Amino acid sequence: MTELGKILREAREAKNLSIDDVQELTKIQKRYLEAIESGNYDILPGQFYVRAFIRQYAETVGVDVSSLLIEKPAVEESSESSAIPDEVKHEEIPSRATKLKEPLGVNVKSSRIMDYLPKILIAILIIGICIAIYMMFPSKNKTNNSTNTNQSNASSEIEKPENNALDQAKDDQKDTEVPKDEDTKVEPTQKITVDSAEGKRTTVSLTGTDVFKLEVISNGESYVDIKNPSGKMFYSGILKQGQTQSFDFTDENEVTVNIGASHNVELHINDEVFQFPVSPTEAVHQYITIKNLKMNQ
């Protein structure tokens, strides 16, 4: 057992937590937790997870491992695959305290709204053009009807002069009728609003649509689980590169997506690519909570 593994195990036991308890709290598989305690890093799914899993384990049992992770965990020198690479060793995953030190005055929600403003303006412009084109058709039809009516009146005047006054009255009545516009209801436009984004936790609201479909696309290996506020788990596992998981959450009011390596995952909400408010380079492990604010609510 390595010194780091021993410290983590003793901290876990001091809190009267079992390996199963830590697995439930961190969502890290039990065999990976046991491997960390014993210093057997070979069975972890990749070198990236060595540091990420150790940090998550340490946060759960209340151990500060920032100084311990400066050096590689003690492992057999012959096992190159179990050592933490230098580039991972020096990579710092920003903590909540680090986020609080960032310059004040940056409104994340306002910044996200400004990002979507051009798309909203384009959508409004397209809708306006469609309405204008639609409104032109009744006028064209009215002109055609008037032309046909005049031709019919001319024929009536030749064939039946005695009915000219009656026919003219009917024509006048037709001309004064206001054409009934068809339903010009514009389909609602989907909107994703960032309610809050702090550290590794982000909350967004989905509005303007009655449909909520989520697609998780893996561009690299990453742990993902999805559940609702009541704890119902819809998916939990490690996605390999190129794998995709699709879900229909139309009947759900809220779901939370737990992503172990956010830089390897792409989310699509109703076929719209979701832009992470917090950059994956700043927070590798992220929780994305999506509130489904339906049109009829």
Are residue 114 and residue 209 in the same domain, yes or no? yes
Are residue 13 and residue 112 in the same domain, yes or no? no
Confidence class for position 140, pLDDT limits 50, 70, 90: low
Are residue 85 and residue 219 in the same domain, yes or no? no
Are residue 215 and residue 285 in the same domain, yes or no? yes
Q: Find the CATH number of the domain harbouring 11.
A: 1.10.260.40
Residue 154 lies in a domain: no
Residue 44 lies in a domain: yes
Residue 99 lies in a domain: no
Confidence class for position 94, pLDDT limits 50, 70, 90: very low
Burial of 97 (0-12, 13-18, 19+ CB in 10 A): exposed
Residue 98 lies in a domain: no
Are residue 236 and residue 206 in the same domain, yes or no? yes
Are residue 82 and residue 199 in the same domain, yes or no? no
Confidence class for position 97, pLDDT limits 50, 70, 90: very low
Residue 198 lies in a domain: yes
- Domain of 278? 108-118+190-292
pLDDT at 183: 53
Residue 221 lies in a domain: yes
Chain-centroid distance, C-alpha 88: 28
Number of domains in the chain: 2
Residue 269 lies in a domain: yes
Are residue 9 and residue 112 in the same domain, yes or no? no
Gap between the Cα atoms of 123 and 189, Å rounded: 8
What are φ and ψ of residue 225, in 5° steps? Answer: -140, 150
| Distance set, CA 120 to CA 114, 129, 205 (Å) | 10, 14, 16
Gap between the Cα atoms of 23 and 33, Å rounded: 7
Last residue of one domain, picked from the residues 92, 126, 148: 92
pLDDT at 112: 63
- Which range, of 143-147, 168-172, 292-296, averages the lowest pLDDT? 143-147
Which residues lie below 8 Å from residue 31, measured CB to CB, with a gap of 6+? 43
- Residues 5-28 have a mean pLDDT of 91
Are residue 20 and residue 56 in the same domain, yes or no? yes
Confidence check: pLDDT of 93 > 60: no
Are residue 112 and residue 251 in the same domain, yes or no? yes
Residue 158 lies in a domain: no
Are residue 76 and residue 208 in the same domain, yes or no? no
Are residue 114 and residue 239 in the same domain, yes or no? yes
Query: Is 0.85 surpassed by the pTM of this model?
Result: no
- Residues 7-16 have a mean pLDDT of 90
Confidence check: pLDDT of 170 > 60: yes
